[in-house]
Amino acid sequence: MRKKASLQTILWLILLVCLSACAGKKQQKIALPADFKGPKELGRLYGVRITPEDNIFLYNEGARWLGVPHKLGGSTKRGVDCSGFVAIVYREIYGKRLARNSADMLRHDCKKIRRGKLREGDLVFFKTQRGGKRGVPNHVGIYLKNGRFIHASSSRGVIVSSLSEPYYTRTWLTGGRVK
C-alpha cells in the first residue's frame, strides 16, 4: 500500500513537470521543494479531494504556512497577519503583488464576485469587527474549493476554515477575483 502511494505521488510529480514544461514556449526545469506534498497527502490536510485540475502549488504553499501564529503586521513564518499571508502566497504562486491590507486589496486589486461564483485562488473578505466603514473588510483569506478557504486567524494562526461556519457566514462581506 505504501509503495503504491509513493508511486502515485511520483506519477503526479512527473505529470506536473511535463505540464509545466509544455505550458510555455520556453521550456524550463522546475525544481520541486523537498517538502512538496502529493495530492493525497494534501487532500487529507485540507479535507478536500485534490484533482489534476487543482493548483497543487497553491495547496503546497498554504501547507507550508499552516500553524504559523498570528502577528499583527507580521509577514514571516514567525508570525503573519491575514493580509500579509494572502500577499505572500499570491506573490509566490501567481507572481502578483497585492496591497498590504484587506481593504486596499478589495479596493485596488480585485473585482467583487458573489459567493456562488468563487473559484480556487479567489479572495474572500469579511468584516469581523464592529464599527468602521460599512462594506470595508478587515479580514481576508484565499478560497480553495468546496467552501473551504485558508487564512491567518487572529486566534489560531494560519488555518483552513469553511465558509459555512456560522462565524464566517455572519461576517461574510464579498468575494474578490484578482485582476
CA–CA gap between residue 64 and residue 36 (Å, rounded)? 9
Question: Which of 18, 22, 70, 82 is flagged as catalytic?
Answer: 82
- Which amino acid does the sequence have at 36? F
Per-residue confidence in pLDDT tens, the chain, 179 aa = 444 445 455 545 554 545 444 444 444 455 777 888 999 999 999 999 999 999 999 999 999 999 999 999 999 999 999 999 999 999 999 999 999 999 999 999 999 999 999 999 999 999 999 887 888 999 999 999 999 999 999 999 999 999 999 999 999 999 999 99
Question: Which of 22, 108, 110, 151 is flagged as catalytic?
Answer: 151
110 is catalytic: no
In the chain, the N- to C-terminal Cα span, in Å, equals: 44
In this prediction the pTM is 0.82
Q: Which residue has the cell 508570525?
A: 79
Question: Which of 18, 70, 108, 139 is flagged as catalytic?
Answer: 139
Angle at 81 between CA 117 and CA 177, to 5 degrees: 20
18 is catalytic: no
151 is catalytic: yes
